[in-house]
Amino acid sequence: MTGVYASHQWTLRASSSTSSAAIATINALGHGSPDSVACWAQADPCAGQVQGSAYRCSSTEPAYNTWTPLRYGGVKRWVADRCVDFGRVA
């Protein structure tokens, strides 16, 4: 499965905005379930990047505004893509 994961917890959102509803908190890879989420389109890496609201992955990083759609519970959800990793997940 192609999907998204990270070495830290991250948030899955209802839309491509930091002000949209937080749908789920995804665990760090290997530290609970779920720890990864499948891509919306099965491309490698995930396809369909859009511009949305600005975010920072940490206080020391620049602001980004690119978001990628994921499949969660059969519904399209969004992740701030500069804060996670893309690739093959088990």
Give me the residues paired with residue 39 across strands. 70
Q: Which of 81, 87, 90 is nearest to 10 (CA)?
A: 81
d(CA 39, CA 6): 14
pTM: 0.91
Q: What is the pLDDT of residues 35-49, one digit of tens each?
A: 999 999 876 678 888
Q: What is the pLDDT of residues 67-80, one digit of tens each?
A: 999 999 999 999 99
Residues 6 or more apart whose Cβ sits within 8 Å of residue 31: none
